[in-house]
Amino acid sequence: MTSGGRNLVILGILSVLVASLTTGVSLAIYHNSGDIYLDRSRPGFLPDEDEIEKQDGQDLEYNFEKSGKLTIQNVEEYLEKLELEIKAIDAYSDPFNEKVLIDEELGITEKNNES
């Protein structure tokens, strides 16, 4: 192997090591900071039943059945649920304002931690 080929192999190995090291450090920071527990997209971290907001007595969440055929009734039911979600979004007076991230707007209540 020529020195150019050897240098290319060394560069490849070093780049994989650096990428692995930085990924490991970032995952350690992600876990140690506690942000991993805020990630609701992970399985097992879905909202609790009491956290799911209901509108007009109906859940704002809808899932198709995991098995079975897709029927017109399923699509119509999904579109009805989608319309409820659209109405909930339209209820915001200014959805792109930074005030929508205030705890009260998000429905987050403060819990007193008494030791």
Using one digit for the tens of pLDDT, what is the confidence trace for 28-46? 998 888 777 676 565 555 5
Count up the domains in the chain and report the number: 2
Q: Whole-angstrom distance between the N-terminal and C-terminal Cα of the chain?
A: 68
User: Which pLDDT tens digit goes with each residue over 67-82?
Assistant: 778 888 888 988 888 8
Is there a single domain that holds both residue 1 and residue 37? yes
The overall pTM is greater than 0.75: no
Where in the sequence is the domain holding 66, given as residue range(s)?
A: 48-115
Is there a single domain that holds both residue 23 and residue 64? no
Is there a single domain that holds both residue 14 and residue 65? no
HSE toward the beta carbon, residue 37, CA cutoff 13 A: 3
